[in-house]
Structure 1
Amino acid sequence: MTRDPEIDCDELVEIVTDFLEGALDADTHRRVTEHLGQCDGCEAYVDQMRTTARLTGTLRQDELPPEMRDRLLAAFRGWKADTTPSA
């Protein structure tokens, strides 16, 4: 039996939401857990994502001032544009 390749930091960032939501298959979950045991940076990142999800999970849309919503949407749109590879 061949061992699956280790997960690297970039791959972990891509699947962190699925990891936190318990949506990964058992093997991928194991590989993520192994990576977190060896990578302090990713462990800190996952902890930050857990905290963010916990804190923002209590925020209702009507509690967010319209100007803050607009700023957040603009920031995410800009982030997406900045990370899209050019052809």
Structure 2
Amino acid sequence: MNDLDCRQFVEQVTTFLEGDLGADAEQRFIEHLALCDGCDRYLDQIRQTTQALRDLPAEGISPAARANLLNAFRSRP
């Protein structure tokens, strides 16, 4: 039985996409993905967003604004 819920899945998406999940965690992630259409769509949205953002020039945002955005995302519960 897969004990990974949708909230935990969302928390692990970035780690999964970066290839940094351990073998057991990755297996639970993939099993959940196979059973949950909502998480399947969420993962696809994150992949599309990541791809779209890769095309933006890095110099388009000031270092201070970048730091503020990263801090805001990191501090979200």
What's the TM-score once normalised by structure 1's chain length?
Answer: 0.67
The answer to whether 1:54 aligns with 2:51 is yes
Displacement after TM superposition at 1:62 (Å): 1.9
Greater Cα radius of gyration, structure 1 or 2? 1
Q: Show structure 2 runs of 5+ residues with no match.
A: none
Counterpart of 1:36? 33
- Listed one character per residue, the Cα deviations across residues 43-79 of structure 1 (whole Å, up to 9, x for unaligned) are 0000000111111022122235x7xx68x94xx83x7
Q: Show structure 1 runs of 5+ residues with no match.
A: none
Among 10, 24, 29, which residue is 1:27 paired with?
24
Q: RMSD of the TM alignment (CA)?
A: 2.5
CA distance in 2, matches of 1:23, 1:58: 24
User: Which amino acid is 2:23 matched to?
Assistant: A
Percentage of matched positions with identical amino acids? 38
The answer to whether 1:63 aligns with 2:60 is yes
